[in-house]
Amino acid sequence: MRSKLFVPGSRPELFEKAMRSDADAISFDFEDSVPAGQKQQARICVSEFLRAEAAALQRRKILIVRVNDLSSQFFSDDLDTAAQAGVHLLNIPKVESADDILQAVALLAALERERGLINAIGILANIESPRGLRLAHEIAAAHPRVVGLQIGFGDLFEPLGISRKDKAAVHHLQLAVRLAAGEAGISAYDAAFTDLRDSDGYIEEARSANRLGFAGKTCVHPSQIADANREFGPNPAEIAFSHKVVVAWAEALAAGRGAITVEGRMIDAPFAMKAQTVLERAGQSSSSAH
């Protein structure tokens, strides 16, 4: 998911527009963007939209529902709405432990069994508290359903008085979450950027995340989608080089060599794995390199 577009669950007039956008994923939100008095109506709107177009929607986008956190009075009803055909991922905010994940998985699995859902819904866990950050690696590895970690700068920084403009703080958090996700072999996703007037700031943050190996970034407005897709999509030069690496590495393995050079760069197993990942992100198979 290079780009994940948030859509308030209480704004059904935006649903179809979001689906027509170039975002890789759409996240229907029940949390911060929906006032308490509108949460039930938001659930109804999202549920009706998903049920009406479930099969078509799954083919067009990665579909996510962001629920309220597990300690919230809204979580149970949110989960009841999210556990249905057409939904790929459950985005859980403010996750603070592996136990939080296991609790959510148990409840989700029970609903799936009850409803005869065949495909298990994955979990995207938000890291947005000091405790969640400290235990991020445990959260990432808590269950196979966890497919990604996502940063929440606002909830983590604001209560502590940490400025979002402090690049060192942003970089530290990005790196910590990326390493935690990497230990579990899952993806990391960068946070929302709410200052819509500062497109340069969004791009700078996305580039920082991309350099750290993040898979994508949240969009809170359609105007951010193109920037996210561009920054997290492999560029033509990177794709071309990765093709050369994959071909050369296959030949090297067949010849019993564990290290080679491609265009003057030393390549061994980790670099070959990265090249394969680049091709996968570009939607190309290694066989097309031959």
- Distance, in Å, from the CA atom of 29 to the CA atom of 219, rounded to the nearest integer, reads 12
Q: What is the mean pLDDT of residues 252-277?
A: 78
Mean pLDDT over 58-84 rounds to: 92
Residues 9-41: tens digit of each pLDDT: 999 999 999 999 999 999 999 999 999 999 999
Name the amino acid, one letter, at 146.
V
Q: Over range 260-282, report the average pLDDT.
A: 76
Q: What pLDDT, in 10s, does the model give residues 148-166? A: 999 999 999 999 999 999 9
According to the model, what pLDDT value does residue 290 have? 46
The reported pLDDT for the residue numbered 243 is: 76
User: Would you tell me how many other CB atoms lie within 10 Å of the CB of residue 57?
Assistant: 21
Reduced to 3 states, what is the DSSP secondary structure of residue 90?
strand
- Mean pLDDT, residues 237-257: 78
Which DSSP letter does residue 118 get?
-
The pTM of this model reads 0.84
Q: What is the predicted pLDDT for the residue at 200?
A: 95
pLDDT band at 249 (very low <50, low <70, confident <90, very high): confident
Average pLDDT over all residues of the chain:
90
Percentage with pLDDT > 70 across the chain: 91
Helix (H, G, I), strand (E, B) or coil at 116: coil
For residue 4, give every residue at least 6 positions away whose Cβ sits within 8 Å of its Cβ, in sequence order, or none.
Answer: 23, 24, 25, 26, 27, 62, 64, 189, 216, 217, 218, 219
Amino acid at 285: S
The CB density around residue 160, as the number of other CB atoms within 10 Å, is 9
**Mind listing the pLDDT tens digit for each residue in 197-242?**
999 999 999 999 999 999 999 999 999 999 999 999 876 666 677 7
The answer to whether the CB of 29 falls within 8 A of the CB of 48 is: no
What is the structure's pLDDT at 58? Answer: 56
Whether 233 and 282 have beta carbons less than 8 Å apart is answered as: yes
Query: What is the pLDDT averaged over residues 42-62?
Result: 80
The per-residue pLDDT for 288 is 46
Strand partners, 4: 25, 218
Tell me the sheet residues that pair with 91: 66, 124
